[in-house]
Structure 1
Amino acid sequence: MTPDAAVSGPSPVAARGWFITLEGGDGAGKTTQAERLEQWLVDHGLEVVRTREPGGTPLGQRIREIVLHERGHVAPRAEALLYAADRAHHVETVVRPALARGAVVLQDRYIDSSVAYQGVARGLGAEQIRTVSDWAADGLTPDLTVLLDLDVSVGRARVAAARGDVFDRLESEAETFHETVRAAFLAMAGAEPERFLVVDAAEPADTVQGHIRAAVSGRVGVS
């Protein structure tokens, strides 16, 4: 993941930008796929802003430390509102300005994560969390959401191998919690097939990237 929003490549000719988000459980490969997609888009002459939630701004970095690394209990509603606060600031100061100048915004996690983790898995209510999140983002919806779907046990094993069994607050939740998150993501993808691309993240990384590029190329006009 990038610690802050990162800009690369020249400004595109396009008059409007494209908002692409990557979603999925821990260990699904979002960072790897975002890095590869960013380079491919830059190679095609597009400006790319690669960012994340939480943590795409200096303020967001501080919020990220709280929601993912705070010791002790954080009330679920407080957790959800912290994510919403990060989103409101991030959309206003990073995402919308980039889209306004025609950039491709490539973002790790967005509203769908809040719905899956806090709305469904935390039991706060999917519609309630989506309403708060939509308000925080002032109604901004991705042009494409790539859902990297992966068996929970495989994803957790990947995280453990990469970090030596060091997990953040959400990663440390029970496997049943993450199974609920996965089911919530798949339900959202089923309800909005025109926005979602569901990719089997167990496939080789090159194959996964190929699926993503095929979907992106039709939207941003590159091949």
Structure 2
Amino acid sequence: MNQGRFISFEGTEGVGKTTAIEQLCARLHASGIEYLRTREPGGSPFAERLREILLDPATDIADDTELLLLFAARCDHMQQVILPALECGIWVICDRFTDSTIAYQGFGRAHGDAAMRAKIDGLISQFVQQLPDLTLWLDLPVLEGMARANKRSAADRFEQQATEFFTWVHQGFSTLAIEHPTRIQRIDASGTMDEVGARIWQAVQDTLTVK
């Protein structure tokens, strides 16, 4: 049986990941490709419980505690959901993965601090057995994305951060795209949903040879 493919979606708040994922999943279905849609933090029953804590605006924890909770959720998600699906030949479509941790905790929280980045990289190498085959970074100016996100009914703990925080997060994604040009594909998230969806499908076809 062929190994499944692993695709992650990344981006700052309000870039349209949810809609983009829905469109990609529809195209995969039309192409006869079996897929599993999941998310981080979360994706498994235990990880979803940790997600509630991490996104709750009332949660007050240190940066290191936040980081370790994210990796506890990720470790369970990997073992219970992602790896079994890939081994069965199922494609995994994940809303956020390790790149978000580097961008949000390594840059948003720590402003690119080398010690925090080394800590995150160490946790990735120790607990993440499979990185995505393709990461789609939906890129949109920070203020435009925040304006979209602010239209939502209630902001979670991360969405409530200030503009400076998301400026650093965006810098994190930009840095990662430079460091991993083969895996991370920048997708212009401006324009209509169909235009963005077409860019994503083209990137998937070009990278993973899907017809």
TM range (shorter): over 0.9
Correspondence for 1:134: 125
Are 2:181 and 1:190 aligned?
no
Unmatched segments (≥5 aa) in structure 2: none
Correspondence for 2:144: 154
Correspondence for 2:34: 47
**Share of identical aligned residues, percent?**
39
* Partner SS, residue 141 of structure 1: coil
Partner Cα separation in structure 2 for residue 17 and residue 148 of structure 1? 23
* Partner SS, residue 74 of structure 1: coil
Partner Cα separation in structure 2 for residue 219 and residue 152 of structure 1? 27
Unmatched segments (≥5 aa) in structure 1: 1-13
Correspondence for 2:13: 26
Partner Cα separation in structure 2 for residue 42 and residue 59 of structure 1? 28
Quick check: 1:121–1:177 contact (8 Å CA) kept in 2?
yes
Q: How much does 1:70 deviate? A: 4.9
Q: How much does 1:167 deviate? A: 1.0
* Partner SS, residue 6 of structure 2: strand
Paired residue type of 1:185: F
Paired residue type of 1:51: T
| Residue among 11, 14, 24 paired with 1:37 | 24
Paired residue type of 1:147: W
Q: How much does 1:72 deviate? A: 4.3
| Residue among 101, 106, 129 paired with 2:88 | 101
Deviations 1:117-150 (A, max 9, x none): 1112211622211221332223x11100000011
* Partner SS, residue 190 of structure 2: coil
* Partner SS, residue 50 of structure 1: strand
Q: How much does 1:89 deviate? A: 0.5
Q: Under a length normalisation based on structure 2, what TM-score does the superposition of the two structures give?
A: 0.93
Deviations 1:156-215 (A, max 9, x none): 111122x23x21111111100000000110110011110111011122211111111112
* Partner SS, residue 135 of structure 1: helix
Q: Under a length normalisation based on structure 1, what TM-score does the superposition of the two structures give?
A: 0.89
Quick check: 2:57–2:156 contact (8 Å CA) kept in 1?
no
Paired residue type of 1:208: V
Q: Which structure would you say has the larger RCO, counting Cα contacts within 8 Å and 6 or more residues apart? A: 2
> What are the equivalent positions in structure 2 for 1:1-223 lying under 5 Å apart?
15-123=2-110, 125-138=116-129, 140-161=130-151, 163-164=152-153, 166-223=154-211
* Runs of 4+ deviating beyond 3 Å: 218-221
